[in-house]
A and B are shown apart, each in its own frame.
Chain A
């Protein structure tokens, strides 16, 4: 893949993080390129969530370097990450059910005009709705109306709304935490289509998933984390599920730690 010849948009080097007695991450490298979908996989406790939270600024690494667009940056809060153009869609989507789609897309970043300086800011609904309409149609997201309450949307539509919010701020990298975990077949398909469109728009997309079938379906490259360390890296078009499962479980040539034969199917269950 051409990705290897380019410079990564986001690089992490030697990342370590300890929680009390638990070494969650030790000396982990990570990189994602523009225009690729990267799958981040690993067993429970492998450190996926910790790594994602460090990238998104929710955690601060004990050691290591954080490079964005080739420059070392300090990311100490989620705000720092979003300022760089790194957006995270958490598994719970962080949507307000009681607000409509437009309000959710703009939550915390409303367009306003000041009525009384320092006191009253009026929300400018019309440009917000126009912009929201534009992004939703660009991403081919099917929702009844962007003025419908999020509570009335299906799981796939909610996921799509959360992803739209992540990409509408000129973001460069989008992290998706278990984007298909709670979805049905048709909705999973829609979300995967959406992920491909993000890649086609030139974004770097990181997908964390337990579902290896989905990972193989949508990702260009797979990074395996195992016991807090960087494991193997695969190109999806030159590997198969057995190799990835072996890397996740630490087994060689399809023989797992506990002797059981693991296939992607029984490794794909959700742990939550």
Chain B
């Protein structure tokens, strides 16, 4: 979940006191410190709603919650990437709706083979990202303005694509299955164990290489702690989704495909941002674009690619949403979807000021927003309260970010 190479600060002297300090720091850095407040917040939210309604933490509700957040969460992964380079994409909601409508129109109205229709929807997203990214990076129009125009324009394009039909119902097995298919229980476990195994292998391998190169390595307890934490988290989630959650005689169990796709995007883009050269450049552009340019990095190219990825993920989110709701209509991608996907990224700990964050923020933030919305639905509270509470949580998260930033600046100058 966190970068493998991040180590606790080396203690220069081997005094008892520094040992104690560094071991304290090590245990803290077991979990990304930046995401600690969010995790605590999630626990508080869970306790409150569980007290108010004992169904909140039931396997059925938690699995539903995960499916509910998958579409917005996928879009939020794209937002994380855009925020990492210090920009914003306000068009993701409209793009998600428009791309889903492209898929729906091609598949339902024009009888295009389903995989092609899905591919066309995703490619439309990529093309939109290319256009908006080019407009921003090459023509130097602020991303805020370019994507605000996109926000309006692609909404219009959605209405145009749907034409007089209004709502297109989706019943193609593949499209519906994208979000609603449930993996066989054994496959869920297999994937989970494989993932934990790969994670552990990566950590062990890195540790061995570092030891071989006579470099500082984290303590063994620390390493085992990390793997154990990841194993418990992943396997508990799979166990939860593998329980039969049905109230009737027809069993409902297994990891929903929407969740798998969402988590898959997070893992892939976590790897890309943290381990590849492209990812390093994304952080560099977000941290100091001028320095990146002087270091020979093609800043414009990085910006364009990030906008392409952001819009492509928006398209994927829109297609997932259409699949889950079995329809694409004029309101697809509108409403609070845009704001929720941005709020999720920020609440999860991605800085609005660029250069700091992780794709896992999309999961954490989407869980916070999703839990609030889901819990209030369980309590039958009106959406007015839902909006106000979500707004307050967002404000709190951004305040924390701004506070952390001013602290960093203060300490960086001294």
Contact = CB atoms under 8 A, between A and B. Distances in A.
Would you call the interface of chain B mostly helix, strand, loop, or mixed? helix
B292 A96 contact: yes
Nearest to A93: B291
A152 B411 CA distance: 6
A123 B275 contact: yes
A96 B355 contact: yes
B288 A126 contact: no
Interface string A171-212: 000000000000000000000000000000000000000000
Interface stretch (A3-11, A107-115, A242-250): A107-115
Contacts of A127: 213
Interface in A119-167: 120-123, 125-127, 129-130, 133, 144-145, 147-148, 150-155
B210 A126 contact: yes
Contacts of B356: 98
B406 to A, nearest CB: 12
Interface stretch (B42-50, B66-74, B127-135, B278-286): B278-286
Interface residues of A, number: 38
Contacts of A107: 280, 284, 291-292, 295, 297
A79 B276 contact: no
Given A108-B297, A112-B277, A126-B209, A97 B287 contact: yes
B15 interface: no
Given A107-B284, A155-B413, A126 B215 contact: yes
A95 B128 CA distance: 33
A120 B276 contact: yes
Nearest to B286: A98
- Give the interface size class of chain B: 35 or more
Contacts, number: 99
A154 B414 contact: yes
A270 B401 CA distance: 34
B7 interface: yes
Contacts of A95: 288, 291
B309 to A, nearest CB: 13
Contacts of A93: 291
B412 interface: yes
Nearest to B294: A94
Contact of B296 (A79, A92, A97, A98): A79
Contacts of A64: none
B215 A97 contact: no
B351 to A, nearest CB: 8
Interface in B355-390: 355-356
Given A96-B291, A107-B284, A122 B414 contact: no
B19 interface: no
B10 interface: yes
A99 interface: yes
A152 B275 contact: no
B277 A123 contact: yes
A147 B6 CA distance: 7
Contacts of B414: 154
A110 B281 CA distance: 10
B360 to A, nearest CB: 17
A130 B355 CA distance: 25
A219 interface: no
Contact of A148 (B5, B9, B272): B9
Given A144-B9, A145-B10, A99 B276 contact: no
B172 interface: no
Contacts of B296: 78-79, 108-109
29 contacts: A94-B291, A96-B287, A96-B291, A96-B292, A97-B288, A97-B355, A97-B408, A97-B412, A98-B283, A98-B286, A98-B287, A99-B280, A107-B295, A108-B297, A109-B296, A120-B278, A122-B275, A122-B276, A122-B277, A123-B276, A123-B280, A125-B5, A126-B213, A129-B215, A130-B215, A145-B7, A145-B10, A152-B412, A155-B413
Interface of B: 5-7, 9-10, 209-210, 213, 215, 272, 275-278, 280, 283-284, 286-288, 290-292, 294-297, 354-356, 408-409, 411-414
Given A94-B295, A99-B284, A154-B414, 11 more contacts: A92-B290, A96-B283, A96-B292, A98-B283, A99-B287, A110-B280, A121-B278, A122-B277, A126-B210, A130-B215, A152-B408
